[in-house]
Amino acid sequence: MIPTFPVPEPTLVWSRFFELLQVPRPSKAEGAAIDFLNRWADGLGFEARRDAAGNLVVHVPETVADGKGPTVILQCHVDIVSVTAEGDAHGADAARGMIPTVRGDFNPANEKRLDPNASGDWINAPFTTLGADNGIGVAMMMALAESNHRPVPLQLLFTIDEEAGMTGAFGLDPQALGLTGKLLINIDTEDDDEITIGAAGGRDIEISWEGTLERVGNQTCYSVGLKGLKGGHSGVEINQGRANAIRLLSRALRRLSDAVDLRLLKLSGGSRRNAIPDVCTAVIVFDSAESAVAQLTIEACCDQWNQLYAGRENPIIIEMTRISDSQPESCLSVASTQTFLQMLNGIPVGICEMTPEIPTLVESSCNLAIVEFATPESAKIICSVRGTTGFAADDICDTLRSIVGLAHGTVEIADGYPGWKPRLESPLLKIAIEQYELLFDSNPKVHAIHAGLECGLLIEKLPGLDTISIGPNIKGNHAVGERVQISSVQKSFLYVVAILEQLGR
């Protein structure tokens, strides 16, 4: 593809990126992109190997005669989140791998567009996601392989399906791919002054619970609802101190059960396992003579929480309304209602532990994500547990088993994916920090995230792998208007070159 503006520096990186934009590569349909990379490798005489999962490794020898440097694995995912804004025409174009590009400066007043302007520092796709996440990394790897000066042997690992299940990293077959490197640089970090050195593993927990029904006498139904909380990502935003709608409502109802004879008809909250729930509603039954007491109890809860969450959460309001027209025959007994609410309130919510070595990093967390009643007497609860190590996640799972066991419920734990424990003593990290300081005269931000990355799975497949993740500035990923910064691509490219150069010494 010939862009409508001059190709920026480094021209080889951008030329390969613009070629890649013509290749369709949505998650789970990366075949054309892997073929494209395989043909590119063949054309240069590099050995390319695939595994059954669909990943590709291109083996690129060093160019220096007395090469003693270690083999370095460079890694990116080839798939992109494909989102289209304006109608099927552009959607079809994007699916065919025809992503239009615009170069210009970011205009915050108009987040989705950039003003076309050849001197601008950002490139975006006006109608679709650009796919710079992770296409710009793929292009950087191609340019590094095509360089006439390669100080170390490179193994370019192109994984599939990072955005929609990480099945590439899960299914990675190091033997089939001939992966032997002991150092890995992942180019999927989206801030050029950061070095990522850790991530969290995750497990999905499904809790099943069954209670006892009893007949509803001369009582009244009320709906109780809490909505409008900020919600957010249950990994990277778990440290923001936001409220969990299920937790707040279950706590209000449990306190209410101290004040009145409360029976639960249903409770429903949350929508996705990786989102902090922002909505929860319940239908409860009690004697209407106690409605004033009930109202006061709930208002007292709200008052308390609005002080507790002041400044970090939206105003917390729980609305209780009488439902006059529906009178169920039976609902959970008073005792079962209490047991259920006690169990729900015992489930850990939010941060469980911080990492002692990196005080700002969450070590483990639990998101009480979804609760639903399938029948009046049986509920399902979904929790998402994250931990930098499997042990940290195991601890939370054990807590869940204990609490749910007391309420005679059952817990099922899915296998999940492994974490990536930060290694502050990593030799590769030491070189990366030194080179950053030398090149840019400032300190990089060394950090870990409390969410899943492919690196955790890759380390599990290649034990002992010394790993860092870096990459250029990308904003607005996974949405129309995704943009990548030209000067930052240049910076990141120089940075990778400098690290490889140092490793080759």
Binding site for Zn ion (CB under 5 A): 133-134, 188
Residue 124 or 268 with smaller CB distance to Zn ion: 124
Reduced to 3 states (helix: H, G, I; strand: E, B; else coil), residue 465 is: coil
CB of 457 to Zn ion, least distance (A): 14
List the end-to-end C-alpha distance of the chain, in Å, as a whole number.
Answer: 38
Structure-token pair, residue 409: 């419920």
Residue 188 or 194 with smaller CB distance to Zn ion: 188
Q: Tell me which residue has tokens 């998101």.
A: 367
Q: Tell me which residue has tokens 């497990």.
A: 203
CB of 134 to Zn ion, least distance (A): 4
Q: Which amino acid, one-letter code, is at 480?
A: V
Residue-wise over 77-86: b if at least 16 C-beta within 10 A, else e?
A: bbbbbbbbbe
Residue 131 or 422 with smaller CB distance to Zn ion: 131
List of E strands, 287-361: 318-323, 330-332, 350-354
How remote is the C-alpha of 346 from its chain's centroid?
26
Residue 134 or 364 with smaller CB distance to Zn ion: 134
CB of 483 to Zn ion, least distance (A): 14
CB of 88 to Zn ion, least distance (A): 26
How many Å apart are CA 477 and CA 470, to the nearest integer?
16
CB of 190 to Zn ion, least distance (A): 8
CB of 449 to Zn ion, least distance (A): 12
Residue 134 or 384 with smaller CB distance to Zn ion: 134
Reduced to 3 states (helix: H, G, I; strand: E, B; else coil), residue 222 is: strand
Residue 133 or 313 with smaller CB distance to Zn ion: 133
State phi, psi for 22 to the nearest 5 degrees: -85, -5
How remote is the C-alpha of 378 from its chain's centroid?
31
Residue 418 or 452 with smaller CB distance to Zn ion: 452
Residue 37 or 152 with smaller CB distance to Zn ion: 37
How many Å apart are CA 392 and CA 396, to the nearest integer?
7
CB of 500 to Zn ion, least distance (A): 21
Distances in Å between the Cα of 286 and the Cα atoms of 291, 295, 298, 336 are 8, 12, 14, 14
State phi, psi for 62 to the nearest 5 degrees: -75, 160
How many Å apart are CA 84 and CA 116, to the nearest integer?
19
How many Å apart are CA 452 and CA 330, to the nearest integer?
43
State phi, psi for 77 to the nearest 5 degrees: -95, 145
CB of 188 to Zn ion, least distance (A): 4
CB of 496 to Zn ion, least distance (A): 16
CB of 75 to Zn ion, least distance (A): 11
Residue 79 or 121 with smaller CB distance to Zn ion: 79
Residue 160 or 407 with smaller CB distance to Zn ion: 160
CB of 17 to Zn ion, least distance (A): 15
Structure-token pair, residue 239: 């440290």
Residue 84 or 134 with smaller CB distance to Zn ion: 134
The per-type count for the chain, helices as H runs and strands as E runs, is: 13, 23
Residue 33: closest CA among 89, 74, 77: 77
Residue 133 or 395 with smaller CB distance to Zn ion: 133
CB of 77 to Zn ion, least distance (A): 6
Structure-token pair, residue 482: 């995704």
Structure-token pair, residue 148: 């006439």
Cβ atoms of 503 and 74 closer than 8 Å: no
380: exposed, middle or buried (Cβ count in 10 Å: 0-12, 13-18, 19+): middle
